[in-house]
């Protein structure tokens, strides 16, 4: 199957759900990204800032770039001019740096709070309590150049589909609770639930994902 065929197949399987496809292009060469672009898939996810910047420089400028991997504060400045969404906000300090760099670029950058949902120890993310701490803080409320528009989570890497489903359902329930508790403001407009990867995006879509991040099912294994 070609990249275009894979994209078409995934988009077909997502039809009727609320999930939109983000093609995860990390480690893949420019030709692969161009093939996805030519198949009208123009939303890309990268997990390293440097690599995303290099690809942004050479590819068409109507691509929406999403940073999905763990992010260090000192890297934010490199992508602040163009990044469309940052999925991996896991501290107030990082959010402050994004706000600062977005201001320098006269932009508002959309962000998701990465929530820890997996059983494994290895994943980054906030606990639900830590997410509440951020949303309730005066520091966050005063930020003008970021907008928190939802949450992101990664399920446990397991063949146990029921486990994965329970974790996705938990994230959606948490998101619904946040929406009920926090009224929309300029910098808080909850509408996105980023969950689901190549192995579990259909389960995620069934559980209310709005953004699935799919790499290997489009481009082959890394
Ligand atoms: C690599 C990656 C993906 C995509 O993984 P695949 O299994 O190749 O679909 C999704 N989300 C994050 C955060 C990633 O780092």
pLDDT in tens, 70-98: 999 999 999 999 999 999 999 999 999 99
Q: Please report the atom of ligand 1 found closest to the CA of residue 152.
A: 13
pLDDT in tens, 22-74: 999 999 999 999 999 999 999 999 999 999 999 999 999 999 999 999 999 99
Fold designation for 3-219 = TIM Barrel (3.20.20)
Q: Where exactly are the structural domains of the chain?
A: 3-219
> Can you give the chain as a three-state secondary structure string?
CCHHHHHHHHHHHHCCCCCEEEEECCCCCHHHHHHHHHCCCCEEEECCHHHHHHHHHHCCCCCEEEECCCCCHHHHHHHCCCCCEEEEECCHHHHHHHHHHHHHCCCCEEEEEEECCCCCCCCCCECHHHHHHHHHCHHHHCCCCEEEEEEECCCCCCCCHHHHHHHHHHHHHHHHHHHHHCCCECCEEEEEEECCCCCCHHHHHHCCCCEEEECHHHHCCC
What is the value of pTM for the model shown? 0.97
Q: For a ligand 1 pocket test, name from 10, 14, 41, 47 the mutation site with the most ligand atoms within 8 angstroms of its C-beta.
A: 47
Q: Whose CA is nearest to atom 12 of ligand 1?
A: 68
């Amino acid at each position: 199957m070609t990249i275009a065929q894979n994209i078409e197949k995934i988009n077909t399987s997502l039809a009727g759900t609320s999930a939109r496809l983000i093609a995860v292009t990390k480690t893949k060469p420019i030709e692969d990204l161009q093939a996805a672009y030519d198949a009208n898939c123009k939303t890309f996810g990268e997990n390293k800032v440097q690599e995303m910047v290099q690809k942004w420089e050479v590819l068409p400028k109507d691509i929406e770039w999403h940073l999905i991997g763990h992010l260090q504060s000192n890297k934010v400045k490199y992508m602040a001019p163009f990044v469309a969404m940052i999925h991996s906000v896991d501290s107030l300090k990082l959010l402050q740096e994004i706000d600062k760099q977005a201001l320098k670029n006269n932009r508002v950058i959309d962000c998701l709070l990465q929530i820890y949902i997996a059983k494994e120890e290895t994943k980054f993310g906030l606990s639900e309590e830590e997410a509440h701490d951020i949303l309730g803080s005066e520091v966050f409320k005063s930020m003008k150049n970021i907008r928190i528009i939802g949450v992101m989570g990664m399920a446990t890497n397991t063949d146990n589909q029921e486990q994965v489903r329970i974790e996705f359902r938990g994230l959606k329930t948490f998101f619904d609770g946040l929406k009920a508790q926090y009224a929309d403001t300029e910098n808080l407009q909850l509408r996105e639930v980023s969950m689901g990867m190549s192995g579990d995006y259909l389960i995620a879509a069934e559980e209310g994902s709005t953004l699935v991040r799919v790499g290997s099912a489009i481009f082959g294994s890394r």
